[in-house]
């Protein structure tokens, strides 16, 4: 928790980083492979952008790599909110919310840090499931509570099951729900 507050960023393990940045990593591999022509030449050797389609793919893949990497990196940042709240009251309300949502469970709990994991729901999944591109398979909600500050950050589930996860706004809705729960305890301070 202290590292998150000092760095203002969610800290992921190495395996979680590989899963979180997997799209960026794939784009980087495609870039290197295309620009070296299958590792048979140096990048940009005899470069002719107008004639070589593989090098065009490599450059566009590199641009996509940069965009996705920057987006994912910025998405790990947390925003601390200064607000008077009642921590015990919030924990009680949160436990009631977990009971009402059967797909939600408290996976980690300490004095100033909570992690909630959500499961996929039928409304989000729809009728069919694609194994490569999938709707959100659940989220991991990080909640940090310190004195008069808190943060809430929701990330998509870092499972190995699906390559690309589509987020239909579940993360932002989860964050808003938790922030509203915290702010509802203001009158009991």
Report pLDDT for 45. Answer: 64
How does pLDDT run across 150-163, given as a tens digit for each residue? Answer: 888 888 776 656 55
Report pLDDT for 137. Answer: 67
User: What is the share, in percent, of the chain residues with pLDDT greater than 90?
Assistant: 12
Give the Cα separation of 66 and 53 in Å (integer). 20
Give the Cα separation of 51 and 104 in Å (integer). 53
Query: The whole model's pTM is what?
Result: 0.76
Q: Could you give the 3-state DSSP secondary structure of residue 113?
A: strand
**Per-residue tokens: 89:** 């009251």
Helix (H) or strand (E) holding 131: none
As beta bridge partners, residue 81 has 150
How does pLDDT run across 100-137, given as a tens digit for each residue? Answer: 888 888 988 888 888 888 876 544 444 444 545 555 56
């Amino acid at each position: 928790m202290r590292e998150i507050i000092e760095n203002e960023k969610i800290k992921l393990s190495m395996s979680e980083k590989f899963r979180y940045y997997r799209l960026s990593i794939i784009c980087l591999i495609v870039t290197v492979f295309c620009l070296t022509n299958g590792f048979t030449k140096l990048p940009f050797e005899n470069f002719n952008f107008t004639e070589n389609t593989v090098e065009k793919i490599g450059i566009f893949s590199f641009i996509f790599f940069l965009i996705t990497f920057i987006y994912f990196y910025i998405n790990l940042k947390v925003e601390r909110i200064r607000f008077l709240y009642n921590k015990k009251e919030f924990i009680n309300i949160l436990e009631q919310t977990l009971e009402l949502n059967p797909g939600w469970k408290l996976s980690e709990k300490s004095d100033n840090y909570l992690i909630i994991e959500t499961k996929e729901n039928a409304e989000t999944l729809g009728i069919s499931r694609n194994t490569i591109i999938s709707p959100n398979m659940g989220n991991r909600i990080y909640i940090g509570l310190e004195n008069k500050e808190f943060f809430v950050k929701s990330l998509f589930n870092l499972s190995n099951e699906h390559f690309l996860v589509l987020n239909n706004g579940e993360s932002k809705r989860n964050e808003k729900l938790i922030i509203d729960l915290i702010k509802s305890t203001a009158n009991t301070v």
